[in-house]
Every structure is written in C-alpha cells, then in structure tokens.
Structure 1
Amino acid sequence: METLHNEIKALIIEALNLEDIQVEDIETEAPLFGDGLGLDSIDALELGLALKKQYNIVIDADDTKTREHFASVASLANYITENKA
C-alpha cells in the first residue's frame, strides 16, 4: 500500500505542477484540501483526470462520497484499490 501512496503523491505533484513539493512532503493521512495540502476544486478536477488516466477509474463528481475519496492520499489509495479494473 505504501507504494501506491507514493505513486498517488507523485501523481498529485505532477498533475498539479507542485514544483516546490516532494513526495516526502505530503502526509498520507493529511487532508488534501483546506488546512492540509491546500488544494481547491480546480485541483480536484485535474487530479480526477490524472487518476482516470493512470488507474482507469472514474470518480463521479456527483457522488456524495467524492469528498471522502479525495480527503487524503490514504482515502484515494483505498478507493483506487477497491475500484481498479
């Protein structure tokens, strides 16, 4: 699972062009939005597209659980693991 966590962190950095951030800087359990990494709704869209391309999964923007899936690297990893084709 740690490998997947690091893959997701690298994907976040690459997809969102976070040049000043390293994989080690992103905490697995820290919130991606708000007080944590500080991502916004545009970042969520970009990240969703990157996840779709990388893992062939679709995160439905209208799903009530989408916020939970995007809460942290750990929750994204769980979602990917459960939904990977």
Structure 2
Amino acid sequence: MSLEEATTHAARRHELALEVKTLLVDRLALDVDPATIGDDQPLFGRGLELDSIDTLELAMAVEDTFGVVITDDDTHSLLSLNRLLDHIQAEQS
C-alpha cells in the first residue's frame, strides 16, 4: 500500500468513525458528545454501557445507514467501536 493509499484509507476510516459515533448518539439517545467516544472504547460494560435493546437498535441503524447486516454470528463486532468499524468496512469492500 502506498503512502497516498494509506492516507486515503485513514481519512475514510476517520470519516466513518465520526459517522458511526454520531449514529450511536442520535439513534440511541445517548447523553454524550460523539467526539468524546474513543475508537477503542467498549460499547458495553465500562464503555458506553449499552444494553441488549441498544444492540438491536444499533444493528438496525447500521443496516439502515450502511447497508451492512449484523447477524448473531457477527455480535463480536459490537464489542467496541473499532470492531464495528472493521465489520462495516469489511462488508462494504
């Protein structure tokens, strides 16, 4: 991968991260600034403290927004924002 390709990939990932963070806050009515959500932050437990209802809502929001389905086998992709970003990018490739 060339430097230009790496830079473009990083810029796309950053843009996707901002979009997903905003989606999380808006669709789940979280009382947090999207900019404060870390890319490695867990979505459950000590992280954003999402619950099972939030999981369903998030999966539907990702499908509606990005056309990416999260199946029962893909639930590991919801453990952190980075894993979710990886899943979205892999499915869109």
Q: Give the TM-score normalised by structure 1.
A: 0.89
Q: Determine the structure 1 residue equivalent to 2:80.
A: 72
2: distance between equivalents of 1:26 and 1:52?
A: 21
Aligned counterpart for 1:49 among listed residues 49, 60, 84: 60
Deviation at 1:6, TM superposition (A): 0.8
Matched, 1:11 2:19: no
Q: What's the CA shift for 1:42?
A: 0.5
- Report the secondary structure of 2:15's partner residue: helix
Runs of 4+ in 1 over 4 A off after TM superposition: none
Q: TM-score by structure 2 length?
A: 0.82
Question: In the alignment, residue 83 of structure 1 is paired with which amino acid?
Answer: E
Listed as ranges, the gaps of 5+ residues in structure 2 are 1-12
SS in 1 for 2:17: helix
Letter of the 1:14 counterpart: D
In structure 2, C-alpha distance between the alignment counterparts of 1:51 and 1:41, rounded to whole Å: 15
The alpha carbon displacement at 1:24 in A equals 1.5
Structure 2 distance, partners of 1:52, 1:75, is 16
